[in-house]
């Protein structure tokens, strides 16, 4: 019953729906008790040869009327009860989604995508069934059982009732044992399902790479192992479920045996009539549902409890980046960063002894070898990560003073590996500005030098992009992502190696367009190909997480350090590629 206490907030929120369902179920439970009583009266009337046609027709009419009323009430409680449980599922999935959107990148490194998907689907469904099916079984089973027992005791025989219920305590003991087993096995089944989800997602996403390396047999064996583990876990759940029905059937069988045997004895002793025994056995039949409902309720509640525990673990994980800032207005894009030290998980140092300023309207370049900390620095600016030993100011205020939405709205980030959704090209470009017209979308695409490519597609801007942009080349995806950022015209445009997949001529055109279109606005260009930062107002060279050199392009060339050597190498490489 712990799960019911945990869902108390929802039951209080939708108490009217549950109250209506409860009243409907209670009325149904009372109405279905009438036919056995009528049947018993008819049996006794036949046995006594006192049954009249009028009496028979009245009984049939009453039974038909009860049938119609019960039908209408069943429709009513289903709409109210299941409608409420569906709302619970929607609320919980909304909470999970909202929670995931505020989590830092480190959270997603610790949790696999498949596991998160399983918690938002299978686990939520299990909790939904607790609020629907389990509540139904609890309400209807308990009410039907109580009403039947009262009628059996009051209207028939308390001695026969007591005799028929002797097997019930044994059933209760086994149900309690099975409930504990169900909780443990269902948790393991859900964990295995999460692993299967994750492996499936990885294999589908990386199917082209798997084929390219000829790893289909190996991946098939690995996938077979995972599916085998899932089957074993689900079989363990099924084995526990299979124990419920035999216990219930044995209990029901023993109850009927005792009822018929005891009833026959008391009929012989003139303490009971045939009609009363008929009524009693029909009422006893109604107790089959409460017995099943009892087992079904325990089953669903144990499943729901296990699933809710997994969901609660997810929702209770505190965001690493707290959104407790109050400022929601930005007047200047002046950036001032002082990073004494930043380390992932407090151990792996990524940045140290870094200080720089970015004045409004300037272009700032960040270069360095692979793993030098360029992307980490950008994530600190956007407050994707943070450190007590790093102070970053935006508009002369610490970035922690801003609401996260306000801060990140100042930046338009284009990562090296952009994500495209499975919608049209126009919708992908207009992601940050859904109300933008096609003319505005096309203008942004022209600035990103992707308009000509789009015009050659059969559906042009209505072309559907495959999952993760699989139907496009790397350069096309990058340029669509650049167009997406340019459409929102952010105060600070961040290109995080976002030109790596385009050729030099296209890169030069895009940079010229950005320079012309974004006069007076700030740009941060992170790159490996140094030609992208030639026109930058200031460039910092990162090496092993710290600034090795800084200055304009010409100044860095004169220093004859890593920057100058890499630039000359890239110039020679470009000349060779062009056959010069």
Report pLDDT digits (tens) over 165-207.
777 777 777 777 776 777 778 777 877 777 777 777 767 666 6
Confidence of residue 437 (pLDDT cuts 50, 70, 90): confident
Question: What is the spatial distance between Cα 505 and Cα 453, in angstroms, rounded to a whole number?
Answer: 15
Extract the tokens encoding 16. 């009217």
19 by DSSP, 3-state: which?
A: helix
The two counts, helices (H) then strands (E), for the chain are: 24, 10
Maximum mean pLDDT: which of 39-43, 100-104, 291-295, 445-449:
445-449
Residue 254 has pLDDT above 60, yes or no: yes
Q: Which residues pair with 356 in a beta bridge?
A: 337
In 3D space, the residue among 486, 539, 535 whose CA is nearest the CA of residue 512 turns out to be: 535
Instruction: Provide the CA 425 distance to its chain's centre, in angstroms.
Output: 26
Q: Which residues of the chain form CATH 3.40.50.300?
A: 335-410+490-577
Between 303-317, 411-425, 566-580, the lowest mean confidence (pLDDT) is in 566-580
CA–CA separation, 512 and 497 (whole Å): 17
Name the residue among 117, 121, 134 with its Cα closest to residue 182: 134
Q: Which of 121-125, 352-356, 467-471, 560-564 has the lowest mean pLDDT?
A: 467-471
Q: Could you tell me what percent of the chain has a pLDDT over 90?
A: 0
Contact 448, 414 (CB under 8 A): no
Determine contact, residues 500/529, Cβ cutoff 8 Å: yes
For residue 1, the model assigns a pLDDT of 62
Computed over every residue of the chain, the mean pLDDT equals: 80
Judge whether 295 and 248 are in contact, CB under 8 Å.
Answer: yes
Question: Which pair of tokens denotes residue 170?
Answer: 């044994």
Place of tokens 């109300």: 435
| CA dist list (Å): 167 to 157, 162, 258, 276 | 18, 10, 9, 22
Query: Look-up: residue for tokens 């729906």?
Result: 17
C-alpha 504/C-alpha 401 separation (Å) is: 40
Q: What is the CA radius of gyration of the chain?
A: 35
Q: State the pLDDT at residue 162.
A: 78
pLDDT tens readout for residues 495-519: 888 887 788 888 888 888 888 888 8
- ∠ Cα 380 381 387 (to 5°): 35
User: Where do the H-state alpha helices sit in 269-371?
Assistant: 274-286, 288-315
Arithmetic mean of pLDDT, 214-239: 78
Q: Which CATH architecture has domain 335-410+490-577?
A: 3-Layer(aba) Sandwich (3.40)
Question: Strand order of the sheet with strand 411-414?
Answer: 411-414, 492-496, 522-527, 363-368, 538-543, 546-551
**Where in the sequence of the chain do the CATH 1.20.1560.10 domains occur?**
14-315
Report how far residue 542's alpha carbon sits from residue 528's, in angstroms, rounded to the nearest whole number: 11
d(CA 302, CA 130) in angstroms, rounded, equals 9
Look up the pTM and report it: 0.69
Per-residue pLDDT, 195: 77
Distance of CA 242 to the CA centre of its chain: 30
Q: SS3 for 551?
A: strand
Backbone angles phi, psi at 461, to 5 degrees: -75, -10
Quote the percentage of the chain above a pLDDT of 70. 92
Q: Which helix (H) or strand (E) holds 39?
A: helix 34-47
How many Cβ atoms are within 10 Å of 442's Cβ, its own excluded? Answer: 20
Q: pLDDT tens for residues 127-152?
A: 888 888 788 777 777 777 777 777 77
What fold, for 14-315? ABC transporter transmembrane region fold (1.20.1560)
């Amino acid at each position: 019953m712990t799960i019911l206490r945990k869902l108390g907030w929802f039951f209080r929120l939708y108490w009217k729906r549950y109250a209506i369902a409860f009243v409907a179920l209670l009325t149904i439970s009372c109405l279905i008790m009438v036919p056995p009583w009528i049947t018993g009266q008819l049996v006794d009337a036949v046995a006594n040869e006192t049954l009249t046609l009028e009496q028979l027709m009245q009984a049939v009419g009453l039974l038909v009327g009860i049938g119609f009323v019960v039908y209408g009430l069943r429709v009513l409680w289903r709409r109210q009860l299941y409608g409420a449980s569906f709302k619970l599922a929607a609320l919980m999935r909304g909470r999970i989604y909202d929670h995931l959107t505020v989590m830092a990148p480190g959270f997603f490194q610790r949790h696999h995508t498949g596991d998160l998907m399983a918690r938002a689907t299978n686990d939520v469904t299990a909790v939904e069934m607790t609020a629907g099916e389990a509540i139904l079984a609890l309400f209807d089973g308990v009410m039907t059982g109580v009403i039947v027992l009262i009628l059996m005791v009051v209207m028939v025989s308390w001695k026969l009732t007591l005799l028929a219920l002797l097997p019930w305590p044994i059933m209760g003991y086994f149900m309690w044992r099975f409930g504990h087993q169900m909780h443990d096995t269902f948790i393991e089944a859900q964990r295995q399902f999460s692993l299967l989800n994750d492996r499936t997602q990885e294999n589908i996403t990386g199917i082209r790479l798997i084929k390219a390396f000829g790893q289909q047999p190996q991946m098939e064996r690995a996938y077979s192992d995972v599916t085998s583990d899932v089957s074993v876990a689900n079989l363990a759940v099924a084995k526990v479920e299979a124990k419920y029905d035999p216990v219930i059937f044995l209990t029901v069988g023993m109850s009927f045996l005792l009822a018929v045997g005891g009833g026959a004895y008391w009929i012989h002793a003139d303490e009971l009539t045939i009609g009363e025994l008929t009524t009693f056995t029909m009422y006893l039949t109604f107790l089959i549902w409460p017995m099943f409902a009892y087992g079904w309720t325990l089953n669903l509640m144990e499943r729901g409890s296990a699933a809710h525990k997994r969901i609660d673990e997810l929702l209770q994980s505190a965001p690493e980046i707290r959104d407790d800032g109050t400022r929601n207005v930005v007047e200047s894009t002046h950036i001032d960063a002082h990073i004494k030290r930043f380390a992932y998980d407090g151990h792996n140092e990524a940045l140290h002894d870094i200080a720089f300023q970015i004045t409004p309207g300037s272009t700032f370049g960040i270069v360095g070898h692979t793993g030098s900390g360029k992307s980490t620095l950008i994530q600190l600016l956007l407050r994707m990560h943070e450190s007590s030993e790093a102070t970053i100011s935006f508009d002369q205020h610490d970035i922690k003073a801003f609401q996260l939405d306000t801060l990140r709205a100042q930046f338009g980030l284009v990562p090296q590996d952009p994500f495209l959704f499975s919608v049209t090209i126009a919708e992908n470009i207009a992601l940050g500005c859904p109300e933008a017209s096609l003319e505005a979308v096309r203008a942004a695409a022209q600035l990103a030098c992707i308009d000509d490519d789009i015009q050659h597609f059969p559906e042009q801007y209505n072309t559907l992009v495959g999952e993760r942009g699989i139907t496009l080349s790397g350069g096309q995806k990058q340029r669509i992502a650049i167009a997406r950022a340019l459409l929102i015209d952010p105060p600070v445009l961040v290109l995080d190696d976002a030109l790596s997949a385009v050729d030099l001529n296209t890169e030069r055109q895009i940079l010229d367009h950005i320079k012309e279109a974004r006069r007076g606005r700030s740009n941060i260009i992170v790159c490996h190909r140094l030609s992208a930062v030639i026109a930058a107002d200031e460039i910092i060279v990162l090496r092993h997480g710290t600034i090795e050199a800084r200055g304009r392009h010409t100044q860095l060339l004169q220093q004859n350090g890593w920057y100058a050597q890499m630039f000359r190498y890239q110039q020679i490489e470009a000349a060779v590629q062009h056959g010069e």
